[in-house]
Amino acid sequence: MRLLSVVASHEGGEACVCDLSAGFELTQPTISHHLKVLREAGLLDSERRASWVYYRVNLAALQQLSQLLWTETLNAATRP
């Protein structure tokens, strides 16, 4: 979730691993792995530019996830 937030709040709404490495106490390969997992889950989109991959939040997927979680929260609150 923190990676999603950092990518979304980055200037221009996108970031590459080189932009994110300083904000985390993780190696660049570890951050790349987590970004790949988020991309495969559909929460991030990516675009390769030269030797870097730039990531941006997939707002439609994030909104769908938010609605799903909200619905589940409401359903859980109304269960006996």
Q: What is the CATH number of the domain that holds 15?
A: 1.10.10.10
* Per-residue confidence band for 70, with pLDDT thresholds at 50, 70 and 90: confident
Tell me the pTM. 0.77
Give the burial class of 62: count Cβ atoms within 10 A of its Cβ; 0-12 exposed, 13-18 middle, 19 or more buried. Answer: middle
Query: How many domains, the chain?
Result: 1
Q: What is the pLDDT of residue 5?
A: 87
Which domain does 33 fall in, by range? 2-78
What are the tokens at 77? Answer: 């609150």
The sheet with strand 44-49 has its strands ordered as 14-16, 52-57, 44-49
* Per-residue confidence band for 78, with pLDDT thresholds at 50, 70 and 90: confident
